[in-house]
Amino acid sequence: MRRDELAAAAGVSAEYVKRLEQGQGRPSAGVLDALARALRLSRPEYEYLCSLAGYVPSGAGRVPRQVGPGTRRLLDRLGDIPICVCDAAWTLLAWNTAWETLCRASTMSDGRDRNMAWRAFTGDQGGTPRTSEREARLRSSIVADLRATALRYPDDDWLKDLVTDLKAVSEVFAGLWQAHVDTRDRDYQVTIRHPDAGDITVDCDIMTIHEGDLRAVVYTTEIGSVDAARLALTQDRHSDRV
């Protein structure tokens, strides 16, 4: 990136960037954030930059909610496999077309409606009323992860309110929050109720993306199974509409 390109992207003059390069002057916190965004710095790189300039990184103590370009490329390249990306509080941030056709994420309003923990424990997750053993293990794992997230980001008021309200509306969540949950068994499953294809039971794999402290949730079905055929039907219906 040339000096004038960086300046334009950050909203400052090229001469100002030149002075910074020469060690003349100290940028404000706002300019520092703008430069970091323009340079697409990773979170560790941004925090290091702030330490050099003598600032506390913005968002410290709060759950990061940015999806980097590498993660977005992952979504694009796995176009036929339903996958979404959540922040460490389990709020949906991004998803691919396959996830959209299966879960209709774009119809969810912002806030709690896009939080997978909230939907799982308030009966608004789009699944069947019954909870299988593998679905129960997934819920336990989400609670354990939320508890660890709350310890890492003690100043995130949105997360605090989410946990408080979940304790109030769900006895299951409240019990899991207080209990020690063994999350070594990662054999998870979810049943999605689709308006065209009916109930689709999918295997659920969760991957941690350390850059940004994100969660990638991937849904797959066994090849040749009834659920695989139903999942394919959701893609066919989407293609017909397009």
Q: What is the pLDDT of residues 216-238, one digit of tens each?
A: 999 999 999 999 999 988 876 65
**For the segment 21-67, what is each residue's pLDDT rounded down to a tens digit?**
898 888 888 888 889 888 888 877 888 888 888 776 766 678 988 88
Q: Which pLDDT belongs to residue 195? A: 83
CATH code of the domain occupying 69-241:
3.30.450.180
**Span 99-108, mean pLDDT?**
85
| Angstrom distance (rounded) from CA 59 to CA 63 | 7
Q: Where are the domains of the chain?
A: 3-53, 69-241
Higher-pLDDT residue of 220 and 241 is 220
Strand segments (E) across the chain: 83-86, 92-95, 188-194, 198-209, 214-220
Maximum CA pair distance of the chain?
Answer: 66
**For the segment 139-198, what is each residue's pLDDT rounded down to a tens digit?**
999 999 999 899 888 889 999 999 999 999 999 999 999 987 766 667 788 888 888 888
Q: Which pLDDT belongs to residue 46? A: 82
The model's confidence at residue 136, banded by pLDDT at 50, 70 and 90, is: confident
Q: Which pLDDT belongs to residue 60? A: 67
Query: Whole-angstrom distance between the N-terminal and C-terminal Cα of the chain?
Result: 38
Q: Which pLDDT belongs to residue 129? A: 38
In the sheet with 188-194, reading across from the earlier edge strand, the strands are 92-95, 83-86, 214-220, 198-209, 188-194
Token digits for 107? 């119809």
Token digits for 186? 């990662």
Q: Which pLDDT belongs to residue 130? A: 46
Cβ within 8 Å of residue 62, ≥6 positions away: 153, 155, 156
